[in-house]
Structure 1
Amino acid sequence: MFFLATSSNSGYKISSALEIPIYAIIRGNISDANLNQIFKNSAIKGVTYYVGWSKLNPQKNNYDFSSLTKILTLAEKYNKKVNLGVLTGRWSPKWLENNKVKYLYWNHFDDYVEKGNIEESKAPIPWDKNFCQYFETFLVKLKEIVDVNQKTFNAIEITGGSNTNGIETNFICSDDELKRVEFNFLKYTNNWKKIIDNFSKLFPNIILTLAIHDSFGSQRSQESANELINYCNLKYTQRIKIAAYAFTEEEWFNRGNQYADLVLKLPSKDIVLQSIKIYSIKSTNVNFEKMLFKASEIKPAWLEIWGEDVINKFLDSEQ
C-alpha cells in the first residue's frame, strides 16, 4: 500500500491510500545503482522488465539469460515480483535477416519514452512463418528460466504480434507498406491468437497480459482488439489481463474515447494500466500525482510507471 503525501502544488489533496500495486518499468540500459534504488523503494510491488529478444538470443541457437536472471535474483533479494516483456519487432535478433525472414519498414517516432527522433526502422513481419518458428523456439528456452523462478514472476507479457516492440496490438507503418506486406485484420488477428495460445501453453501457471491498441497505418479500428479481448475472456478466463499502455491523467483517457473504452468497459480487476510517458522528463510531479490519483479511482489489477520516475523521486512520499 502506498500513501502519497498531500501536494501543495496540485490544487487538490490525495489523502487516501493508493491501494493498487505499482510496478516500475526498467530497461536494459539502467545502471546498477539505479536498479538497486528502484528495488529498495518500498512503494513498489516489483518491476516490469523489458528486454530485447536480441539480448537474450544474440546468435542463432545461442542464448544468454544472464540479464534476466540478474533481475530475478534482485527481485528475490528484495521480496519483489517481476513482470517480463520480451521485445520483438525492432528488438529482434539481427541473425534473423540471414534466415529467410521477411521484413517491413517504417519511420519510427516516439517522444514519450524515447528520444523523439525520427528513425528509419525495420522489423520482421509478425506473421512470417520463419519469424514465428524462431520466436517459438526461443520461448521454449525461456520457459526453462521461468519454470525455475516461477514464484518470482507476477506476469508475462504476450509479445511477438506487432512490428514496433512486439507488444501492443497495433501496426505502425504507412498505408502503402500495409498494402505491400498484405496486411489484413483476419491474418493479423489470427496470428495474435496463435501467439496467445502458445504463451498460455508454455506458461500455464503465470498471469499473462495482452496490451491492446487501435492504430493501423493511418486508421484507427477496434476490430482486432475487441476480437482478441473476447478470445482471451472466452478461452482463458481470468488468466489473461488486458493492458492499456497509454494511460494518462489527461481528459481524453475516459469513457467515450475509442482507445480507453477498450479497457474501461472491462472489470477493473481484469485490466492493467501503464503510464503513457516518463513524467519526470516530459511533465511535472503535479501531473504525475494526477495520473496516480486517476489510477486509484479506476483500480486496475496493477499500475506500471517508468523507472525514471522512481529514480527522480516522483514516487516518494515526501517531495
Structure 2
Amino acid sequence: MRINSYYIILISLLCINVKGNHNEFKTPIYAIVRSNTSDANLIKVLENPQVAGITYYVGWSKLNPEENIYDFASLERILTITKQYNKKINLGVLTGRWSPDWLENKHVKYLYWEHSDNYVEKGKVCQAKSPLPWDKTCNDFFKFFLLQLKVIVDQNQNIFNAIEITGGSNTNGIETNLICSNKELSRVSFSYFKYTENWKKIIDEFIELFPHTVLTLAIHDTYGSERTDLVSKELIRYCTLKYRKRIKIAAFAFTEEQWFNKGNQYADLVLQLHTQSIMLQAIRIYSNISNTNQDFYNMLLKADKIGPAWLEIWSEDVIAGFLNPR
C-alpha cells in the first residue's frame, strides 16, 4: 500500500508539473521590445523558445529626428538580430507624445494633458503634449515619413508579422482613445465624427502603403471623462466591411482580472469577434509588481482559452523568467 501511495503521489506531482509548463500554450507569444532595450536583453528574449517574435515600439521622433532626416539604423539593427533567430516582428511607430519636436515649428496644433501610467511606467506622472490627431500638417509629415519606412518594410517583408496602425491618438498614437480633460477636449473642438473620420483616413493610408502586411488596430473607449464604444464599433465595422482579414482588432488591456470578460464594454469589442481576427496585449509589466508570477500565468491561460491570433507580453517579464517553465 505504501508503494502504491508513493506512485500515486509521484504521478500526481508529474501531472501538476505538466499543467504548470508554459510549453502547453498554443497561442503565439510576442514580446514587446522598446527602443531603449539593450542588445543583450533583446537576445535573451529572442533565445526564449516560447517567444514567436517581438513587437518593436519605437518613437517617430527617433526615426525622423529632423525634418527630411531619417535614421533607420536602430530599426535595421533590430531586424538583423531578430532575423538571426528566425523570429518575426510586429512594428509600432509611436506618434502622439513620441512625435518629433521639430513639428512645433510647422504651425502644428497641440493637445495638452497630465499623463500617468501605473501599468508599464511604474506610476510615472508628467505634463504631456502631442499634435492634435486630426492636424493636417502633422498627418502630412507622418505620411511622408511612412513612405520612407515603406522602403525598409518592403526590403524585409518576410520578417514582418504585422504593422500597427498609428497616428490617430495622443498618448502613443495607437489606441483609438483621447486622454485629456473635458476642458481640453472643448478647447480643441473635439467631435466624435471628426475623430472617427480621421482614423478611417489613417487606416486607408496604411492599407495603401503596406499592401502585403497584416495590420492591427487597437480599440479603446475613453474620451476625456466619457466612456463610449461608438468610435471603436464604427472603426471595427469599417475595417471588417472594407478590408476583411487584412486588419486584426487589438485590445491592449488584457489581464487575468475578471473585468476583462464578456459583458464589459471594452472587452466586448474584441470578444464578440472571431478569435483569429483579434490580438491581445498584456495590460501591465507583471514583474514590476511583486508576487505576480501566478497572475501572469493565469493571464496566459486565459489568453489561450480565448485563442487570439497572438498575444503580446512585455519583454521585462520574459527577462524576469516569468515565461520559463514552472
1:302 pairs with one of 293, 299, 310: 310
- How far did 1:17 drift? 2.0
Aligned partners of 1:66 and 1:7: how far apart in 2? Answer: 46
Once the two structures are superposed, residues 94-152 of structure 1 have per-residue CA deviations (whole angstroms, 9 ceiling, x without a partner) of 00000111001000000100131221000000101101100000000000000000000
SS of match in other structure, 1:213: coil
Structure 2 alignment gaps of length 5 or more: 1-13
Among 193, 196, 204, the alignment partner of 1:197 is 204
**1:52 counterpart = 2:55:** no
Equivalent residue for 2:78, pick from 71, 75, 89: 71
Contact in 2 for aligned 1:24/1:304 (Cα 8 Å)? yes
1:315 aligns with 2:314: no
Q: Are 1:22 and 2:8 an aligned pair?
A: no
Q: Mapping of 1:250-261 within 5 angstroms?
A: 250-261=257-268
- Percentage of identical aligned residues: 62
CA contact (8 A) 1:112 1:282 kept: no
Aligned residue number for residue 157 of structure 2: 150
Cα distance change on mapping 1:298 and 1:273 into 2, 3 Å: same
Question: CA offset at residue 6 of structure 1?
Answer: 7.5
Q: Work out the CA distance in 2 between the residues paired with 1:83 and 1:229.
A: 20
Offset from partner CA, 1:128-182 (integer Å, 9 cap, x none): 1101100000000000000000000000000000000000000000000000111
Q: Deviations over 1:201-260 (max 9, x none)?
A: 000000000000000000000110000000000000100000000000000000000000
- Deviation of 1:308 (Å): 0.1
Letter in 1 for 2:128: S
Q: CA deviation at 1:73?
A: 0.6
- Aligned positions of 1:1-319 closer than 5 A: 13-14=19-20, 17-283=24-290, 284-318=292-326
How far apart are 1:29 and its partner, in Å? Answer: 1.2
Alpha-carbon distance between aligned partners in 1 of 2:118 and 2:228, rounded to the nearest angstrom: 23
Does structure 2 retain, via aligned residues, the 8 Å contact 1:272–1:303?
yes
Q: What amino acid is the match of 2:47? A: K
Question: Structure 2 CA distance, aligned partners of 1:27 and 1:157?
Answer: 14
**Helix, strand or coil for the counterpart of 1:45?**
strand
Q: Deviations over 1:51-86 (max 9, x none)?
A: 000000000000000111111111110000000000
SS in structure 1 opposite 2:244?
Answer: coil
Deviating runs (4+, > 6 A) in structure 1?
5-8
> For the aligned residues, what is the CA RMSD?
1.4
Could you say which structure has the higher helix fraction?
A: 2
In the alignment, the residues of structure 2 paired with residue 269 and residue 262 of structure 1 have an alpha-carbon distance, to the nearest angstrom, of: 14
Deviation at 1:282, TM superposition (A): 2.3
C-alpha separation in 2, matches of 1:247 and 1:115: 18
Question: TM-score w.r.t. structure 1 length?
Answer: 0.95
Within 2, Cα distance between the matches of 1:218 and 1:308?
31
> For residues 19 and 268 of structure 2, what CA distance do their matches in structure 1 show?
27
Contact 2:97 2:128 in 1 (8 A): yes
How far apart are the structure 2 equivalents of 1:187 and 1:28? 32
Compare 115-124 and 171-180 and name the one that shifted more.
Answer: 115-124
Matching residue's letter, 2:195: Y
The alignment's TM-score, normalised by the length of structure 2, stands at 0.93
Larger radius of gyration: 2
Aligned mates of 2:81, 2:15 — CA distance in 1: 31
Q: Post-superposition shift, 1:13? A: 4.2
Secondary structure at the aligned position of 1:109 is classed as: strand
Q: Distance in 1 between matches of 2:37 and 2:82?
A: 15
Q: Distance in 1 between matches of 2:81 and 2:111?
A: 37
